[in-house]
Structure 1
Amino acid sequence: MASLTEVRWHGRGGQGGKTASILLGKVAAKSGKNIQAFPEYGPERMGAPVLAYNRISEDEITLHCQVTEPSIVAVLDPTLLDVVDITEGVPADGTIVVNSKEDAKTIKEKLDFEGDVWTVDAYGVAEKEIGRPFPNTPMLGGLMKATGLIEFDKFLAGIETELEKKFAHKPEVIEKNLAAIKRAYQEVAN
């Protein structure tokens, strides 16, 4: 991993982009990394485009601004491909992971992007494993496979710990989300 890795999350209000960013940050911190995880809000309303960011580094992070040149982009809603330029600021060797039923080659051509493009049907995975179309936890699984940011078993254990804090009284929610992460990790493709 580079000394500083920046991630930009594109989603819509209510899809869990902020939550995914925070979960990734907490797990990275537990693995000994320095992190930042923060959202960017415009008008807060369900369904509106939202952004969230991560910075992950072995070294102290002294930047305190928006992420403008992420090496990794995660897109939780495929309709955003027609609304915003998700490739903005991403270097030619960057990685983009998109929640889409389309294959990665089709998305790569649509984006006219030189770097790595991965796709996973995060809505489908969430429906099958969680019973609701929340793409955020499946996208975390796809992101781990596409980037190798954190060794998967350590990542999964960290996510389980974080979910237990929030859903200790609902163990089925924890198990379903872990299953969604595992399935997306297996199904994401480039």
Structure 2
Amino acid sequence: MRFHRQHHAMYEARMHGGFGFGFPPGPHGHGGGGRGRGRGRGRRPNVRGAVLALLVERPMHGYEMIQEIDSRTGGAWRPSPGSIYPTLQLLEDEGVIAPAEESGGGRKRFTVTDAGRDEATEAAQTPPWAEFAQDTVNSWHDIRDAGMQAMQALRQVMMTGTDDQRERAAQVLDETRRKLYAILAESE
């Protein structure tokens, strides 16, 4: 049992990040296909707990889990495959989960074993996605929508603007980038 706790603690330290939006590494996450997104400076979400909480509901495969967590947090947390699949492998190695009898679409679905039932039930009581308060999710949507609208405007400038307009757009983007980093540099 001691080995399990030590192994689990090392695993948690390495794997609890893995967000998927492609921001550069920083205080909000680490590498592995995605970075911190909408989290602030708090602790990283519990991927293991999320996987187990989902499997209490029904058998799922890794990609399904990524989509479910993304959906349940309104896009504020989308674990990367680099955090989900190693978690599934670890849980399977520990005997906490096992492949489901029927795996659909060529993807391996997992289910909770009897040995993992208590841990999974406990994880489902307060699932990790519950950490994302509705105001955080709404804030994420507002920022994402504003960014998408800005990208559409930039696309128009690039496609139909003059050389002078494209140059001025590049200056606006440079200024915007500096201002965004200045926001992050502000003390909390």
- Compute the TM-score of the two structures, normalised by the length of structure 1: 0.28
Between structures 1 and 2, the one with greater helix share: 2
Q: Normalized per residue, which structure has more strand?
A: 1
